[in-house]
């Protein structure tokens, strides 16, 4: 029986037992009771070789056998925890380096082949390691380590013999404290900037709207033709300033919310109201397409349609389709505008931002890039614009259309 058997977890490690801080069992000589000798076979030899590797490793690591006894505890781990190898070697007391009360480490659960209990002991803190081989990751905060606590990232992997039997587990630790502090500082700074910008934008937008209203009112009061033209020019300039102002506000929204599944059909229907004349057609497959993307992707489609209306013909036409390829999906947006000059195609999305058109392209590129998608313009000059959006397999799916769509 392992030290942390699943049937015993909720019984042996109840709230009362976990708040106990009793000292480890000692033998008659006053030393911490050592583990039972490992079973015979090739396990001791394999663990001995691995222990030598762990002690020379450049990463903080420790190794336990299938009896949960520490076989190796290297110098880098001593520096992080303040616990020396001789304090835990050949004992099952490694948990004391991280917890004040009795608590299984990730490696203990892997030795007992109790991965189903990882969620019980580490709720919302664990994930399967991308490295595979039944490895798992945990990120947690340990308040009693160091002067102000430490954030640690654990990765544990089971060790097996030639028959596939678990003979131990290796656990690696990474100190994320500095990175977490930087992350927290950046998050706080971002929130401050967002609050400041929101207040500033709100006030400026109100002032612009009021000024435009006064200009409109002034035009009705004057009868001088030249003066009226001056007012019209001022109104046009304010309108452009207002547009650029809204553009910057929309651009800041990128990344301010976590990615989510966005239904492309519903998004297109919500922005088609911009198309007062002309037509917009989308294949049935597009209607059931969902992208795991930044919520600002709706703004991207709105900008595309606005661009078509502004640069297109009196009767703008829009065609949207998608097709699956080996790498994922190609989502295509086409219109009947004049298109893009060949000289601009290569640097279309990296041009210096000097007007609203450049800004729209920058927003489009960055919204897609934030979700791992790429875009390129492949239309023929004079025959319209064609944007091809490459979507990785992991960020798209097709869902059945609802009856109310």
In terms of Cα–Cα distance, which of 330, 319, 325 is closest to 373? Answer: 330
Q: How far is CA 246 from CA 27, 28, 241, 253, 311, in A?
A: 74, 77, 9, 11, 20
Q: pLDDT tens digits for 259-273? A: 899 999 888 888 877
3-state DSSP assignment of residue 1: coil
Read off the pLDDT band of 202 (50, 70, 90): confident
Read off the pLDDT band of 356 (50, 70, 90): low
Q: Give the pLDDT of residue 39.
A: 45
Which position has the higher pLDDT, 138 or 308? 138
Sheet containing 260-263: give its strands across.
260-263, 289-293, 396-398
Query: Residues 279, 285, 291, 296: what is their CA dihedral angle, to the nearest 10 degrees?
Result: 10
DSSP state of 26: B
Read off the pLDDT band of 162 (50, 70, 90): confident
Which position has the higher pLDDT, 126 or 252? 126
What would the DSSP string read from start to end of 296-327? THHHHHHHHHHHHHHHS-SS-EEEEEEEEETT
Sheet containing 317-325: give its strands across.
279-282, 317-325, 328-335, 386-392, 374-377
Query: Range with the lowest mean pLDDT among 22-31, 93-102, 268-277, 368-377?
Result: 22-31
In terms of Cα–Cα distance, which of 108, 124, 229, 219 is closest to 171? Answer: 108
Q: pLDDT tens digits for 6-59? A: 444 444 443 344 333 334 444 444 444 455 544 444 567 888 889 999 999 999
Q: Measure the N-to-C terminal CA separation of the chain; round to a whole number of Å.
A: 58
Q: Give the pLDDT of residue 403.
A: 52
Q: What is the mean pLDDT of the chain?
A: 81
DSSP state of 389: E
- pLDDT over 70 at 307, yes or no: yes
User: Which residues have C-beta within 8 Å of that of residue 308, sequence separation ≥ 6?
Assistant: 316, 318, 335, 337, 385
- Helix H or strand E encompassing 153: strand 150-160
CB atoms under 10 Å from CB of 169, counted, come to 25
Q: Where do we find the tokens 């004079």?
A: 382
- pLDDT over 70 at 287, yes or no: yes
Query: Range with the lowest mean pLDDT among 195-199, 213-217, 232-236, 315-319?
Result: 195-199
Q: What is the mean pLDDT of residues 376-395?
A: 91
- pLDDT over 80 at 376, yes or no: yes
This prediction's pTM: 0.48
Q: pLDDT tens digits for 124-145? A: 899 888 766 689 999 999 988 8
- Rounded to whole angstroms, how far apart are CA atoms 5 and 67? 12
From start to end of 219-306, where are the E strands?
Answer: 260-263, 279-282, 289-293
Which position has the higher pLDDT, 355 or 93? 93
Contact 152, 139 (CB under 8 A): yes
Q: Give the pLDDT of residue 84.
A: 94
Q: Give the pLDDT of residue 26.
A: 47
Query: Range with the lowest mean pLDDT among 181-185, 294-298, 351-355?
Result: 351-355
- pLDDT over 90 at 172, yes or no: yes
């Amino acid at each position: 029986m392992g030290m942390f058997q699943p049937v015993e977890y909720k019984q042996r490690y109840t709230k009362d037992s976990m708040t106990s801080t009793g000292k480890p069992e000692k033998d008659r000589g006053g030393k911490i009771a050592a583990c039972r000798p490992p079973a015979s076979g090739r396990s001791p030899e394999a663990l001995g070789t691995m222990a030598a590797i762990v002690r020379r490793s450049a990463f903080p690591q420790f190794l336990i056998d299938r009896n949960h006894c520490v076989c190796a505890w290297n110098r880098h781990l001593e520096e992080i925890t303040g616990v020396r190898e001789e304090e835990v070697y050949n004992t099952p007391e490694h948990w004391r380096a991280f917890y004040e009360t009795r608590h299984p480490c990730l490696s203990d659960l892997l030795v007992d082949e109790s991965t189903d209990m990882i969620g019980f002991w580490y709720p919302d803190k664990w994930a399967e390691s991308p490295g595979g081989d039944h490895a798992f990751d945990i990120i947690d905060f340990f308040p009693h380590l160091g002067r102000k606590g430490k954030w640690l990232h654990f990765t544990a992997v089971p060790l097996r013999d030639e028959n596939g039997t678990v003979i131990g587990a290796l656990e690696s630790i990474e100190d994320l404290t500095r990175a977490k502090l930087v992350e927290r500082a950046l998050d706080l700074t971002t929130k401050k900037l967002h609050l400041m910008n929101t207040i500033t934008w709100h006030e400026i937008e109100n002032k612009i709207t009021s000024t435009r209203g006064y200009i409109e009112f002034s035009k009705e009061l004057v009868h001088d033709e030249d003066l009226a033209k001056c007012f019209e020019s001022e109104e046009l300039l304010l309108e452009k300033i207002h547009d650029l102002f809204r553009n910057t506000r929309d651009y800041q929204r990128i990344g301010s919310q976590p990615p989510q599944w966005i239904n492309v059909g519903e998004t297109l229907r919500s922005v088609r109201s911009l198309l007062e004349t002309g037509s917009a057609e989308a294949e049935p497959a597009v209607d059931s397409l969902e992208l795991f993307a930044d919520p600002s992707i709706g703004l991207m489609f709105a900008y595309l349609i606005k661009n078509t209306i502004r640069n297109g013909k009196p009767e703008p036409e829009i065609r949207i389709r998608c097709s699956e390829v080996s790498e994922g999906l190609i989502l295509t947006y086409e219109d009947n505008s004049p298109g893009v000059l060949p000289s601009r195609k290569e640097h279309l999305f990296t041009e210096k931002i000097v007007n609203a058109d450049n800004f729209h392209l920058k927003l489009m590129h960055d919204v897609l890039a934030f979700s791992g998608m790429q875009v390129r313009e492949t239309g023929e000059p004079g025959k319209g614009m064609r944007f091809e959006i490459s979507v990785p397999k992991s960020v798209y799916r097709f869902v059945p259309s609802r009856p109310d769509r």
